[in-house]
Chains A and B, each alone.
Chain A
Amino acid sequence: MNHFLTTEDIERADLDSLLGEAQEFVDVLGRPIPKVPALRGKTVATMFFEPSTRTKLSFEKAAKALSADTMSFSPGTSALTKGESLKDTVQTIRAMGVDLMVVRHKATGAAWRIAEWLDIPIVNGGDGAHQHPTQALLDCLTLQQRFGALDGVRIAIVGDIRHSRVARSDIFAFTTLGAEVTLVGPRTLLPSDLEGWPVRATEHFDEVLEELDAVYLLRVQAERGGTSVFPSLPEYVRRYGLTRERYARLKPDAAILHPGPMNRGVEIADAVADSPRSLVLNQVTNGVAVRMAVLFRLLGGDHDV
């Protein structure tokens, strides 16, 4: 593995071993000294052209826990606003002596292009609505900690899947691990063409609710790019929100996940967000561990076995 850009083509064996290593890093993070010297002397640059606090902090924490140095780039204060091209920006940062770049960008495929331009490993921290592969890793780890192997586990992804890079990454990772994935949302929020996707899709949340082992809720916005994608938020909550009433009808051991930040009262009821079945905080902790696993995989060692 030279880069970590997408979950679309990752083999099950690779995914399993990466998750196994991530679990070791969970243990490292639980020690009195939650730090190892594995990447000492290496510099990891987080290039977030799209704003993000949590993912950026998570990557930085992961790098530091491996004893790497970090460098952080954000668009507001940079020459990019003076018209410097993306290619020039990343090449300049690379020339400062950076060993790996984590990139988040609004344009689909930005990480792919940067991987073509530079000679260092690139980690995709989110490109457009396409992929956010480390999110998928931490979601898989969280689900595995809860259910063991995911074969046959029924997971519903609910919400604005059409515009979600989290959903796309999760779909391919979950199904690679053998889970059964159902997409739930109004037609305007489901991907326009589902041919060849290894999933079921439905507009009727209530019809699948009671068979689910896990519910993965996506953040919902009523407007996207100036056009309304469904009539109103109350309408959305009525048909797709994980309300207290729906929560009560879920299997007693069903898990609830959300990539954050949550819109309490919209896709998830306030009380449900804090319920014991919610694995949201585990997701956050696991996020640092999976990012450590990815960084170690890409930088810890000179060549592939």
Chain B
Amino acid sequence: MSDVVLTGGTVLTPQGPEDGDVRIAAGAVAEIGTNLDGAAVIDCSGTWIGPGFVDLHTHLREPGHEWKEDIGSGSAAAAAGGYTAVVAMPNTDPPTDAGHLARYIADRGRRTGLVEVVPAGTVSLGRQGEKLAHLDELSDAGVTVFTDDGDVVADAGLMRQALDYLAGRDGIVAQHAVDTGLSRGGSMHEGAVSSRLGMYGIPAAAETVIIARDLELVELTGGRYHVQHVSTAGAVAMIAEAKGRGLRVTAEVTPHHLMFDDTALRAADPTYKMMPPLRSSEDRSALVSGLQSGVIDAVATDHAPHAAHETDVPFEHAPNGVIGLEWAAAVVNTIAGLDMVAFFDRMAEAPARIAGIAGHGARVAPGIPANLVVFDPSVEWVPSDTVSQSTNAPYFGVPLQGRALVTIFRGEVTARTGSVPTEVS
């Protein structure tokens, strides 16, 4: 490993943004200064240099669904987007409900060597929603985020048990807040567009009834609770209120919910089919404000690859979800107008803190592991391809502002302007 020097950027130090150069050696940040020199010099003028992004919500699809994505291609997409760590969702086949499965995933990530793959564990055994998964084993294997994502933890009793148990082990329960009864038969937001299309919709209440119930349980247990992919103005208000009362609640929002609303669905195009669905323009505004104010702590991609033959079907039959690792930072920069400090907080610091991932999401200072991103906030570009195995993205052809130019993982450059030079294993 040779020295890499990043010159001329604005560096996010523990004291705040400072113009300067960063020298990296032996996998760590060696020094921050001016006029630094080294074996490999990368001109970073006009860019922000900060902690590599951390994604709280990625579907790597391995084991079990490798025709959509695997840990190799998913890691490459993450690196291309400026990420150095991702939390891998456990709705794999088999689902990550036991320690050895978590260890397998982490190991695969290590051997690929492009990002830190942090496995999440399920809340319930087999994601069946009935009994607790092997939470103790998972915890011992390093799992801190527990979720049945893809499905809601519907049973209040089970949710209470999980919150209670994990409070003692400093784990966090992340909820996919979509009530099954209210969402039955629906494939898009219940509103003006669903009414025009004659399609069953999923009302905003499907999200808020679950959060309302869960917040009572958070209060009862004192546990840690995280709301995944917030989509409604109502939820944002509830989260603000809960935080105000001192409950240990955090929340994430996806880039696609920040950028699009249900008018994107007027032509019933499966490209915009997600769960939770894209909602009204009022909901979208509330999400953007929520992220700006910090009520929503983090951006999480919910990167959900699906093969082309699966999405080339009528809307109702299409699977939910879009990929997003490569463009999340650009979308957030284009839509939310965050300053450098807030940007890195939502994209890296807060996610790392919520998931308890050491060595990532830290401000740049000598001695920290070199997991960094060089982000140009002004470059304008239009996405046209992807390194993911799947191509189900709503961003092709959409003008964006901002791009991760260099991603550095453990001191090695893993991506330059969207391309991943390292051979993926």
Contacts and interface: CB of A to CB of B under 8 A. Distances in A.
Direct contact of A and B (CB under 8 A): yes
Interface of A: 8, 85-87, 105, 107-110, 112-113, 117, 128-130, 162-165, 168, 191-196, 225
Q: Which 6 pairs from chain A and chain B are nearest by CB?
A: A109-B268, A129-B198, A107-B314, A193-B195, A110-B314, A191-B195
Given A113-B312, A195-B192, 18 more contacts: A8-B196, A86-B314, A86-B317, A87-B313, A107-B315, A107-B317, A108-B268, A108-B315, A109-B268, A109-B269, A113-B314, A130-B199, A165-B198, A192-B191, A193-B191, A193-B192, A193-B195, A196-B192
Contacts of A109: 197, 267-269, 314-315
B277 interface: no
Nearest to B316: A107
- Centre residue among B190, B197, B314 by max chain A CB count within 10 A: B314
Contact of A108 (B185, B198, B309, B312): B198
A119 B144 CA distance: 52
B250 interface: no
A85 B198 contact: no
B305 interface: no
A102 B69 CA distance: 37
6 contacts: A87-B309, A107-B315, A108-B316, A117-B312, A128-B316, A193-B191
Contact of A112 (B200, B267, B309): B267
Nearest to B192: A193
A85 B268 contact: no
Contacts of B201: 192
A31 to B, nearest CB: 39
A164 to B, nearest CB: 8
A195 B315 CA distance: 23
A192 B196 CA distance: 9
Contact of B190 (A86, A128, A192): A192
A193 B204 CA distance: 14
Interface residues of B, number: 22
Contacts of B190: 192-193
B194 interface: yes
- Centre residue among B195, B199, B269, B312 by max chain A CB count within 10 A: B195
Interface string B313-324: 111110000000
Contact of B313 (A113, A164, A225): A113
A163 B198 contact: yes
A128 B199 contact: yes
B419 to A, nearest CB: 30
Given A85-B313, A108-B314, A225 B198 contact: no
Interface string B290-319: 000000000000000000010011111100
Interface of B: 185, 190-192, 194-201, 267-269, 309, 312-317
B198 A168 contact: yes
A130 B268 CA distance: 10
A165 to B, nearest CB: 6
B198 A105 contact: no
A159 B200 CA distance: 18
A136 to B, nearest CB: 14
A198 B312 CA distance: 33
A23 to B, nearest CB: 30
A108 B313 contact: no
Contacts of B309: 85, 87
B314 A168 contact: no
B199 A85 contact: no
A117 B312 CA distance: 9
Given A86-B313, A86-B314, A87-B313, A108 B195 contact: no
A165 B201 CA distance: 16
Contacts of B269: 109
Contacts of A107: 314-317
Nearest to B267: A112
B163 to A, nearest CB: 33
Contacts of B317: 86, 107
B185 A225 contact: yes
B194 A192 contact: yes
Contacts of A165: 198
A130 B198 contact: yes
Nearest to A107: B314
A124 B317 CA distance: 18
Nearest to A172: B196
A113 B267 CA distance: 9
A130 B316 CA distance: 13
B315 A130 contact: no
B157 to A, nearest CB: 27
Nearest to B190: A192
Contacts of B314: 86, 105, 107-110, 113
B315 A168 contact: no
Contacts of B194: 192-193
B223 to A, nearest CB: 35
A165 B196 CA distance: 10
Contact of A192 (B185, B195, B268, B312): B195
B302 to A, nearest CB: 23
Contacts of A112: 267-268
Contacts of A164: 198
B192 A108 contact: no
Contacts of A105: 314
B195 A85 contact: no
A102 B198 CA distance: 20
Contacts of A85: 309, 312-313
A49 to B, nearest CB: 10
A112 B315 CA distance: 10
A87 B312 CA distance: 7
Given A112-B267, A112-B268, A225-B185, A194 B313 contact: no
Contacts of A130: 197-199, 268
Contacts of A225: 185, 200
A44 B115 CA distance: 54
A17 to B, nearest CB: 25
A183 B199 CA distance: 18
Contact of B196 (A87, A110, A117, A168): A168
A293 B186 CA distance: 36
A2 B194 CA distance: 26
Contacts of A163: 198
Nearest to A161: B198
A112 B312 CA distance: 12
Contacts of B192: 193, 195-196
Nearest to A193: B195
